[in-house]
Chain A
Amino acid sequence: MTREVSDLPDLHPGVSRDAATPRDSLIVSLLPVLVFAAILGGWEAWVRLAQVKRYLLPPPSAVVIALVEEPMRYIDAAVTSLSAAIGGLLFATVGAFALGVVMAHSRALERALYPPALLLKVMPIVAVYPLFLIWFGFGIWPRVLIAALITFFPVLVNTVIGLRSIDPAAHDFLRALHASRSQIFWRLRLPSSLPYLFAALRICVPLSLVGAVVAEFLSGASGMGQLILVANGDFDTPALFGAVIVLAGLGVSLTVGVSYVERRVLDWHDSYRGT
């Protein structure tokens, strides 16, 4: 991943940030693409030559055809699943961060609140989903809730660790100035916790998609989960592969999006650690 070059003069001239020459880095960045192309080509050739049955393993070309013939089928399902996943992730992040602030505030509160939070984590979420259906119906809300529950704990734990991982020397300086708790929170604790929060988000993006799709499996109402169920019932294996590709694409896009925001917000982080 390329780093932004500062517009300020280089303090360490002669020290290159990237030791590889442009030619090397081009080959290195093309390698994954070549490997990918080789796998797909080999797959296509093998399926055709060995005449593998389509419902067992379709050639990549059939998967592409399935995707382009009915694009709206996948787009509609993807939007539905993505809404549940992102909605759940947002609720979990806001809620877990708020609870994390409370728990980081005092050890007593942490001890009191940690067991119920842990219970949420160890509880098999699939088992409570029928309850959510009874309480909230077949709409998007039970699915948002599943995605939220599955992502809540990583955000909570990382928030608490992050808010506590402050530089003791900076903390001493502020205390010697009689800085208030809120001044210390906004100026020191909150920025210190952001690297931990983003680490949690990178873990939680794929988890939230898993939560949404599992919920759709169970309710069978709509979304990628329902698409997969229907395709499975029809032995429509190209559509199943298409669904996998779409879900992988969603996961990659969300992760790239989080990484992009992270690099913007935490542009100080790596450069500081690197020295």
Chain B
Amino acid sequence: MALTDTSPLIAPDADAGEAAVPAIDVRALSHRYASTAGEVVALEGADLRVEAGEFVSIVGPSGCGKTTLLRAVAGLLAATGGEVRVLGGAPEQAQREHAIGLVTQDPGLLPWRSVEANVRLPLEVTGATADVPALLERVGIARFARYRPGQLSGGMRQRVALARALAHRPRLLLMDEPFGALDELSREDLRLELLALWERERIAVLFVTHAIHEAVLLSDRVVVMSGSPGRIVADIAIDLPRPRTDALTSTPRFVALAAEVRGALRSGAGSAGARS
């Protein structure tokens, strides 16, 4: 890892006018679908705004609609109600502009390709160019460039997925529980590397997670969701100084913010329990 290298790999938007356009602007987003158990309300009246260069996490219990929200932003799911604007346009427009990078819990790497060829995939699709060796170096997988994903640990695979999501220089990075399947030590490492990477790149990130600690450490804001029906119950600004390190997690302010997020999660779960 070339942590000492501070030059941004992805050039931040120089255009000041464009910086005013929010990366994500979701209004009154609802999503319902029919299942064998009747109609499911996956999401109801969700409003979410993520500014350009902002890191926002969504925390919430399983089935609270946070993945639905992220998929609607990615243009992978057409929500049944409300409006999604990504970088000022429809999600499909952002897809066409190759403005979105996606990292999911299952990395979805192509097993027949080497690590390097996996990272080149978005370049082949979009026609963009990138210094792939430098990118591999940046996420700590340069020495595995010729390996196949099947030869790597889960943590290394997620690094490949992260490099692949950044290769075409997206303006919005969508991460759906990217570290969810990893062991605790790998999670910690990847968290800190993502933090270092993001503090250099400053692209907008929407980060879905179960982990309160992780959300508070990484984010500018933590959005708390609650299930059945899925909705947003709190939006908590994380006013911790940057650059952040793991040492921050023992400070009183960090502990207080984590407690606030936990409280919002608990009260959200409580009201959901009262409904049913």
Spell out A's residues near B (CB within 8 Å): 6, 8, 11, 167-179, 183, 187-188, 191, 266, 268-269, 271-275
Spell out B's residues near A (CB within 8 Å): 71, 74-76, 92, 95-96, 98, 100-102, 104-112, 121-122, 124-126, 146-153, 164-165, 168, 174
Known pairs A178-B96, A187-B124; A170 contacts B108 (CB<8 A): yes
Residue contacts A-B, CB under 8 angstroms, 20 given: A6-B151, A8-B146, A11-B147, A11-B151, A11-B153, A167-B108, A167-B110, A168-B108, A169-B107, A170-B109, A173-B104, A173-B108, A176-B75, A176-B100, A176-B101, A176-B102, A178-B125, A183-B125, A273-B150, A275-B151
Q: How far is the CA of A150 from the CA of B124 in the complex (A)?
A: 40
Contact indicator B148/A174 (Cβ below 8 Å):
no
* B158 smallest CB distance to A (angstroms): 12
Q: Hey, which chain A residues are within 8 Å of B101, CB to CB? A: 176
Q: Hey, which chain B residues are within 8 Å of A179, CB to CB? A: 125
| A274 closest partner in B (C-beta) | B150
Contact indicator B150/A271 (Cβ below 8 Å):
yes
Task: Name the contact of B111 in the complex, choosing from A8, A175, A183, A269 (C-beta under 8 A).
Answer: A269
Q: How far is the CA of A187 from the CA of B123 in the complex (A)?
A: 13
Contact indicator A177/B148 (Cβ below 8 Å):
no
Q: How far is the CA of A184 from the CA of B76 in the complex (A)?
A: 15
Q: Hey, which chain A residues are within 8 Å of B105, CB to CB? A: 169
Contact indicator A8/B147 (Cβ below 8 Å):
yes
Q: Hey, which chain A residues are within 8 Å of B168, CB to CB? A: 177
* A181 smallest CB distance to B (angstroms): 12
Q: How far is the CA of A50 from the CA of B100 in the complex (A)?
A: 81
Q: How far is the CA of A176 from the CA of B173 in the complex (A)?
A: 11
Known pairs A172-B74, A175-B76, A272-B150; A187 contacts B96 (CB<8 A): no
* A187 smallest CB distance to B (angstroms): 7
Task: Name the contact of A275 in the complex, choosing from B108, B112, B122, B150 (C-beta under 8 A).
Answer: B150
* B162 smallest CB distance to A (angstroms): 12
Known pairs A176-B76, A268-B112; A169 contacts B106 (CB<8 A): yes
Known pairs A175-B95, A177-B122, A178-B95; A268 contacts B150 (CB<8 A): yes
Q: How far is the CA of A183 from the CA of B95 in the complex (A)?
A: 15
Contact indicator B149/A172 (Cβ below 8 Å):
no
Q: Hey, which chain B residues are within 8 Å of A169, CB to CB? A: 104-108
| B164 closest partner in A (C-beta) | A173
Additional A-B contacts beyond A177-B95, A178-B95 (5; CB < 8 A): A11-B151, A177-B122, A179-B125, A187-B125, A275-B151
Contact indicator A272/B148 (Cβ below 8 Å):
yes
| B147 closest partner in A (C-beta) | A8
| B174 closest partner in A (C-beta) | A176
Known pairs A177-B98, A177-B125, A187-B121; A172 contacts B108 (CB<8 A): yes
Known pairs A8-B147, A11-B151; A268 contacts B125 (CB<8 A): no
Q: Hey, which chain B residues are within 8 Å of A266, CB to CB? A: 112
Q: How far is the CA of A271 from the CA of B111 in the complex (A)?
A: 9
Q: Hey, which chain A residues are within 8 Å of B71, CB to CB? A: 172
Q: Hey, which chain A residues are within 8 Å of B108, CB to CB? A: 167-173
| B93 closest partner in A (C-beta) | A178
Q: Hey, which chain B residues are within 8 Å of A269, CB to CB? A: 111-112
Q: Hey, which chain B residues are within 8 Å of A176, CB to CB? A: 74-76, 95, 100-102, 174
Contact indicator A8/B151 (Cβ below 8 Å):
yes
Contact indicator B95/A187 (Cβ below 8 Å):
no
* A238 smallest CB distance to B (angstroms): 49
9 cross-chain pairs, A with B, having the tightest CB-CB distances, nearest first: A169-B108, A272-B150, A170-B108, A272-B111, A178-B95, A169-B106, A268-B112, A176-B102, A271-B150
Task: Name the contact of A272 in the complex, choosing from B96, B98, B102, B149 (C-beta under 8 A).
Answer: B149
* B86 smallest CB distance to A (angstroms): 11
Known pairs A8-B147, A177-B122, A177-B125; A187 contacts B100 (CB<8 A): no
Task: Name the contact of A173 in the complex, choosing from B92, B102, B148 (C-beta under 8 A).
Answer: B102
Known pairs A11-B152, A187-B121, A272-B150; A178 contacts B98 (CB<8 A): yes
Q: How far is the CA of A173 from the CA of B100 in the complex (A)?
A: 9
Q: Hey, which chain B residues are within 8 Å of A170, CB to CB? A: 108-110
Q: How far is the CA of A173 from the CA of B173 in the complex (A)?
A: 12
Contact indicator B109/A172 (Cβ below 8 Å):
no
Q: Hey, which chain B residues are within 8 Å of A173, CB to CB? A: 102, 104, 108, 121-122, 164-165
| B91 closest partner in A (C-beta) | A176
| B143 closest partner in A (C-beta) | A9
